Chains A and B, each alone.
Chain A
Amino acid sequence: MTAVVPTPAAEKPVEPPPKERRPRRNLTPWILLLPGLLWLVVFFLVPILTSVSASVQQGDYDDGFKLTWHWANYVDAVTKFGPQYLHSGLYSLLCTVLCLLLGYPVAYFIAFKGGRWKSLLMALVIVPSFTSFLIRTIAWKTILADNSPLVRLLGDLHVLKLTTALGWTVGDHVLASPAAVVCGMVYNFLPFTILPLYTSLEKIDPRLHEAGHDLYCNTFTTWRRITLPLSMPGVIGGTLLTFIPAVGDYINAQLLGNPNTGVVGQKIEDLFLRNTQGYPVGSAISVVMMVGTLVLVMSYIRKAGTEDLI
């Protein structure tokens, strides 16, 4: 043997240096942080405070709004928009679950079977995002149009009868239905699920799969006992990155939905831009949505036990 390879972890703890020196103060990190902090203050903190403040004001565009601590705005915000909250929650949840179900196999395949095509395949996942969000969503109008091959096929297979009975499509149409909204959302947010999943799957040593096979796991058990737990950071990251923007999204509902698929975002837009007195209640809804999402996400992270995984 010629080379002596050092062990990665030394057996003995390293002795502290005999003389302790006072650490030198270093301002560089703070200076580097400054632009980012400024950005956050101006474009995040100030708008949030303005929203919170606006949510307890009263008035209209002509006379101006005054801070009157009018908490009744919140009563309106919570009680008057039941269907919109329901739709936002339901669509975004469904979108997240579908993205996970569709995205996990894709990420798995690219990470473990992609070989030298890995980068190209990942690029293909991202490339559609180079087109504008709006245009991509409008494109779905064509895909889901009544005379499109897809919709005709679904009609011929009598799938539409079933989905219409369940209330997800309307008659023979897919467009302007809850199903269309969810389709558009899944399509638009899928890369946000795949990317974190791929990152965490790609980090898994394929030799762990071999170790699993060696220790009596078939392919499914290997996935269940080894791959899945190790990819949980990706699952959590991916679902959060999908759910959070999805719950606030209203473009898909606007372009692919119908008057009965209204989501909270549409209502907020409506109150802000088309109602002379809507500003305070719109702000209150925004605050409710933010707090609601925050609570949901926090409890989700706590339940999933990410501190141990990330």
Chain B
Amino acid sequence: MSSNDVLGRTEGGDLRLVGLTKRYGSFTAVDDLNLTVPQGSFFALLGASGCGKTTTLRMVSGLEEPTVGQIFLGDEDVTDRKPYRRPVNTVFQNYALFPHLDIYENVAFGLRRRGVRDVRKPVEEMLDLVELGHVAKRKPHQLSGGQQQRIALARALINQPQVLLLDEPLGALDLKLRRQMQIELKRIQLEVGLTFVHVTHDQEEAMTMADTIAVMNAGRIEQMGSPAQLYENPRTTFVANFLGQSNLIPGTVEGVTGGTATISAHGQRLTLDAARCPVSSGLVILGVRPEKVQIATCDAEVPSGHNKLTGGVVLDTSFIGVSTQYLVKLPSGEELSVFEQNTGRPIQRPGAEVTVFWDPGQGFGLEGGQDIEAGADVEEDAA
């Protein structure tokens, strides 16, 4: 590839959004977004419906004009370029395959529009990549949802865009097929080495595929990082609840000594890595993931140094094979989720008095005063 070809593709083309804002009347869909997506990365924009993630994607593709802000591809400002003049292609949510063209012509479409003469080889290669060479002569409606999805991907990928945009590409597929396609997409991304920007409301999908996830909420990026960073160290209650489940316990920081923060919550003393505690005094929310919490009968030994909450009562027990999920009610009235892996330990029945405990190193701290429920229910709304 030359350093600057017909479509203005440049080498070293990171996607940069600078102060990007989109307003519809008085509603702000995307609010002063600043973002850099490194070339060759698999980037996910994660959020509930209406958080502005699709609008962001459409501004990158050029189908929507930003109210304020700029979009850069490499050093090139593409903000004012028409969608058909951007080295960016989209895999649409409902695939938007051309119903009057067969699969071969659908895939060849972009190349033909750019005046490429010999399309046979690239089209065949692309169909092989998505393992659908045998359907070349069929019409889109003769394909299953999963196949159409892969053709939509092939149709976009064949143009070797600088950035490939995927708008909820797996949303219309059933769960099993979605899992399969997640792996497939990741494989293809590694194989072709292009930048993928993936919009989804499915946190599992984002975590499976993306190198970097940006969690969006109300037009802003709430937090950005690798899946592990976001999961282990969420910075807001929204992220803690939206990405997996969290037990969030409000408390007060008593003091910080030797890399350990001491927190009092409901009259019990809990500890936390000082490095993971954002405040050194005052209100704090202590969070711990359900699978890191252990459960034991109230008379059992708790390993020393562990955070311990006593006097809990099991409210609900669901055995789901690989694990057992408990809902434990604490004396303070709070409910705590506990996931215990099925290692043969006895199952606690509802009504049993239990003690819950966890390694303080596994907890995380959030700034106090936030809405503990933020982001907890949005996923259901979106799905």
Contacts and interface: CB of A to CB of B under 8 A. Distances in A.
B96 A9 contact: no
A205 B60 CA distance: 22
A59 to B, nearest CB: 56
A214 B90 contact: yes
A4 B88 CA distance: 31
A131 interface: no
Contact of A215 (B100, B110, B172, B175): B110
A278 B281 CA distance: 111
A146 to B, nearest CB: 49
B100 A7 contact: no
B99 A215 contact: no
A216 to B, nearest CB: 4
Interface residues of B, number: 38
B241 to A, nearest CB: 15
A3 B383 contact: yes
User: Which residue, of B98, B114, B174, B204, has the highest number of chain A Cβ atoms within 10 A?
Assistant: B98
B320 to A, nearest CB: 15
Given A9-B143, A10-B144, A216 B172 contact: no
A156 B94 CA distance: 55
A210 B58 CA distance: 10
A216 B113 contact: yes
A229 to B, nearest CB: 5
A211 B96 contact: yes
Interface residues of A, number: 28
Contacts of A229: 100
A309 B379 CA distance: 41
Nearest to B89: A214
Contacts, number: 90
B380 interface: yes
A229 B82 CA distance: 24
B204 to A, nearest CB: 7
B146 A213 contact: no
B124 interface: no
A151 B88 CA distance: 53
Nearest to A205: B96
Interface string A180-216: 0000000000000000000000000101101101111
A226 B84 CA distance: 15
Contacts of A216: 84-85, 110, 113-114, 159
B96 A1 contact: no
A9 B145 contact: yes
B92 A1 contact: no
A279 to B, nearest CB: 50
A214 B63 contact: yes
User: Which residue, of A7, A10, A309, has the highest number of chain B Cβ atoms within 10 A?
Assistant: A7
A11 B146 contact: yes
B144 A208 contact: no
A217 B113 contact: yes
B109 interface: yes
A132 interface: no
B84 A215 contact: yes
A2 interface: yes
A215 B380 contact: no
Contacts of B92: 207, 210-211, 214
B100 A1 contact: no
Contacts of B113: 215-217, 221, 225
A36 interface: no
Nearest to A230: B100
Interface string A225-242: 110011000000000000
A300 B85 CA distance: 38
A1 B144 contact: no
Contacts of B145: 7-9
A210 B96 contact: yes
B198 interface: no
B202 interface: yes
Interface in B74-94: 82-85, 88-90, 92, 94
Nearest to A231: B100
A5 interface: yes
Given A9-B144, A11-B144, A214 B99 contact: no
Contacts of A225: 109, 113
Nearest to B149: A7
B82 A208 contact: no
Nearest to A6: B174
Contacts of B129: none
B292 to A, nearest CB: 23
B177 interface: yes
Given A214-B83, A216-B84, A207 B204 contact: no
Contacts of B62: 213
B255 to A, nearest CB: 42
Interface in B348-383: 379-380, 383
A252 to B, nearest CB: 36
User: Which residue, of B96, B97, B114, has the highest number of chain A Cβ atoms within 10 A?
Assistant: B96
Nearest to B158: A215
Interface in A1-44: 1-11
A218 interface: yes
Given A2-B383, A214-B90, A226-B98, A7 B146 contact: yes
B236 interface: no
Given A1-B383, A208-B96, A221-B113, A215 B155 contact: yes
A5 to B, nearest CB: 6
Given A11-B146, A205-B96, A213-B82, A1 B202 contact: yes
19 contacts: A1-B379, A1-B383, A2-B379, A2-B383, A3-B383, A7-B145, A7-B172, A7-B173, A9-B144, A9-B145, A10-B144, A211-B98, A213-B82, A213-B83, A214-B89, A217-B84, A218-B82, A225-B109, A225-B113
Q: Which 5 A-B pairs have the closest CB atoms?
A: A211-B96, A7-B145, A216-B113, A213-B83, A215-B110
Given A7-B174, A208-B96, A216-B159, 17 more contacts: A1-B175, A2-B383, A5-B172, A6-B174, A7-B144, A8-B145, A9-B143, A207-B94, A210-B92, A213-B82, A214-B63, A214-B156, A215-B89, A218-B84, A225-B109, A226-B98, A230-B100
